[in-house]
Amino acid sequence: MTPCIPLHRTTGRVDPCGRLLGPNAPAGTRRPNAPARARRRPADAATGRAYTTNAIRGAPPRRARWRFPAWGAVAGLLLVGGCEVFSFLPFVDSPEEKDEEGAPTPLGAFDAEASIERRWQVGVGRGLGRKYLRITPKILADRIYAADGYGTVVALDRFSGRRIWTASVGKPDNRSFLKLWDRRDPSFLTGGVGAGDGMIFVGTTRGEVIALDAGDGTERWRVQLSSEVLAPPAGGDGVVMAQTNDGRLIALESADGTTRWSYDNQVPLLTLRGTATPVVIGAIVLAGFGDGRVAALSTVTGATVWEHRLVLPQGRTELERLVDVDGTPLVVPERNAIFAVSYQGWLKALSPQEGRVLWELPASSHLDLAEGYGQLYMVTDEDVVTAVQQGSAEVVWQQEGLKNRRLTSPMAFSNYVLVGDADGYLHVLAQTDGRFVARRRLSGGLQSPIVESDGIVYVLANDGKLSALEIRLRS
């Protein structure tokens, strides 16, 4: 510390002890060892805030000085040392201790029993964007309908890939040319593709449900709902069911889109981004909600036929209390059962008449279920493909070779179970024991559900390319 040396007649100067010196200094400021006193300014008239300053009355203001050498040294240390500089902190891991628990499982070699052959591939718009959209292609007769995330809807001949019509349901929001730092994804078409009563339905982040004529793509009607529509609307028997992200299930008249009724469900503070697709069975609609509930309602009046909570939220944090039912309820008429699964909860078999529990199994998934060979197929939240007996809840097999690879919902047909992953691989497993049968990498990452008809598999990749594929056994 610099010693307090008396200074005299130094106009406009402050000595190291905080004393203003000079002929005009106030009385008492020449006292030796006089400390600088804090002075409170009057409250600011605009904000009402009072400020405290250690400036001494009469002293000229000091200019702020940039100390480039000091900042340069710190920046250089950060650039050179990286995270190692802060590795002494308990919440910062050193590079040697990096946790690889959530890393995708590397793909292993296997003896392929079949090959995946491409029949055709067509680009659909600009792709799905970066909002984790799961736009599902829809098959009607000899056509397949698909959409991208930016408002393009197409109808294709599903045997040849020939384009029949293309429609645009809107344009992405314009971004200012000056906001070069704005990297938000402008995709807005999120709920697609649904069908019913000769129409194609899509939903948007703007809360719209749009109906297009399945024949030529002309717009039939458009309605504004209360929140985002993240799952395909489902239609049939004169009604269109749409589920919004704020917990509402809304019945619309298929003729003009007017509201028939609305069912409100309380939304938890924190939920997964997504909703289950409503399932219309005659005069009943099944829906899953963010609070872990599955409900059956009348499509005519909206009256509750039954409801069942798959799991009660538990835990101290909101993350631990996530129990969304984002997977579409699976109806299996042969078993007279409805199967549903929740995140961090249970896989349950319910009776269609009253929602009574037939059996239950601890499970966690936010994806759709599939069925075949008397089994259910589920992808857990750790991306483990699991087969469960439909009648007894017995786990038949588990395939952990795709763990943490961010799989799509499973799709079962013939002897196979198909899943895609975020790296663009399509995997074919055997329904009997889960062994790998075939694998092929497509054009881009996969997250949309896979659909099939007449032995032809249709896969929509994140880059917007729709592929028609066939699985052929090797001789």
pLDDT single digits (tens) 14-53: 444 444 444 444 444 444 444 444 444 444 444 444 434 4
Q: What percent of the chain has pLDDT over 90?
A: 69
Mean pLDDT, rounded, for 270-299 = 94
What confidence score (pLDDT) does residue 18 get?
45
What confidence score (pLDDT) does residue 176 get?
55
Shortest CA distance to 21 belongs to which of 57, 30, 58, 35? 30
- C-alpha Rg value of the chain to the nearest Å: 32
Mean pLDDT, rounded, for 164-176 = 86
Chain-centroid distance, C-alpha 101: 21
Mean pLDDT, rounded, for 75-99 = 45
Mean pLDDT, rounded, for 264-280 = 90
What confidence score (pLDDT) does residue 184 get?
76
Mean pLDDT, rounded, for 350-362 = 96
Residue 173 predicted with pLDDT over 90: no
Which tens digits make up the pLDDT trace of 229-238?
999 999 989 9
C-alpha 189/C-alpha 16 separation (Å) is 67
Q: Which residue has the higher pLDDT, 233 or 176?
A: 233
Structure tokens at 459: 């896969």
H helix intervals, 20-149: 68-81
What confidence score (pLDDT) does residue 172 get?
87
Shortest CA distance to 131 belongs to which of 210, 179, 180, 191? 191
Confidence of residue 444 (pLDDT cuts 50, 70, 90): confident
- 219-224 and 465-473: which strand pairing? unpaired
What confidence score (pLDDT) does residue 102 get?
81
Residue 460 predicted with pLDDT over 60: yes
Map out the domains of the chain with their CATH numbers: 1-57 (no CATH), 108-134+369-475 (2.130.10.10)
Confidence of residue 352 (pLDDT cuts 50, 70, 90): very high
Mean pLDDT, rounded, for 412-439 = 97
- 304-309 and 293-298: which strand pairing? antiparallel
C-alpha 61/C-alpha 260 separation (Å) is 71
Mean pLDDT, rounded, for 259-271 = 91
pTM: 0.78
Residue 74 identity (one-letter amino acid):
V
C-alpha 217/C-alpha 199 separation (Å) is 9
21-30, 167-176, 292-301, range with the lowest pLDDT = 21-30
What confidence score (pLDDT) does residue 283 get?
94
Shortest CA distance to 314 belongs to which of 347, 289, 345? 345
Mean predicted lDDT score pLDDT of the chain:
83
Mean pLDDT, rounded, for 106-128 = 95
